[in-house]
Amino acid sequence: AREFVTATRKTGPDDLLNSAIAGFGTGAILGRLQGGQFGAYRYSLIFAVVGTAVDFAALKLRPKLHDFSESMFDKSSSLKLPEWSPIQVLDEEALAAKRAREEKLYGQRKALNKEES
């Protein structure tokens, strides 16, 4: 309903009056179907107030959510680990060194198991 009102009034998507008008109209239709004339008044007021409040909150939170998403994702749109995280992403040289250490430890463990047997 809000998109319809936006197109009809030829305003931008950030206009809160569109949300209020759409909420009033939608609430009136649903209230009329469920609660008669009194229900139409009640539902239209509730839909207009709550819908406009949600849209207002979304408009205020959008820049903060954008900044948060930029801090969580790197340029390749994969998750970025915080600097304090114990998980480390290793480059090729670090992976090769890790494999060499693991193979050395595996060889030592294998030699110890042969000596015990």
Tens of pLDDT along 33-67?
A: 888 888 888 999 999 999 899 989 999 998 888 87
pTM comes to 0.54
The terminus-to-terminus CA distance of the chain in angstroms comes to: 79
* E-only strand ranges, the chain: none
